[in-house]
Structure formats: structure tokens, C-alpha cells
């Protein structure tokens, strides 16, 4: 069975949700309904990747060996 190299897969979910809400709150008043939703989704992707890429990796000391 494959081992996970990260802690929890749902630990980065908050970043996607925060990015989406933040993007919608800024985008809809600025760009209108269609542009605001596009801006919100783009912000969710950016924030999700930014915080997902910086989460701590689990080190089991095996150097990739099972």
C-alpha cells in the first residue's frame, strides 16, 4: 500500500475556501457577477496552491523506501 507523504489531505482545504470567499468579496463589486466569480476562483487557486505548497511534509526516515 502506498504511504502518504503529507500529513492530512484535508488540512489545506481552509486555504481554498478562504481564497474563494476573499476573491468573491473583492471581485464581485469590482468586476460584476461573471468577472467576480472568475476572480474568486482564481484567488482560490492562488491561495490554495500557495498554502498547500508550504505545508509540512511527514519524514519517516526511509528516503522513499517502503
Query: The pTM is what?
Result: 0.63
What is the Cα Rg of the chain in Å? 16
Q: How many CB atoms lie within 10 A of CB 20?
A: 19
Pair 27, 39: CB distance under 8 Å? yes
Q: What integer pLDDT is reported at residue 21 of this predicted model?
A: 93
Nearest to 16 by CA among 54, 37, 62, 47: 47
Locate 40 and state its grid cell.
474568486
- Specify the pLDDT at position 15: 84
pLDDT 10s digits, 9-64 = 556 788 888 889 999 999 999 999 999 999 999 999 998 888 876 666 565 555 65
Amino acid at each position: 500500500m502506498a504511504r502518504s507523504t503529507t500529513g492530512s489531505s484535508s488540512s489545506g482545504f481552509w486555504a481554498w475556501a478562504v481564497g474563494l470567499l476573499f476573491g468573491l468579496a473583492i471581485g464581485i463589486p469590482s468586476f460584476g457577477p461573471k468577472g467576480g466569480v472568475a476572480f474568486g476562483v482564481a484567488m482560490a487557486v492562488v491561495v490554495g496552491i500557495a498554502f498547500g505548497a508550504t505545508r509540512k511534509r511527514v519524514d519517516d526516515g526511509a528516503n522513499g523506501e517502503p
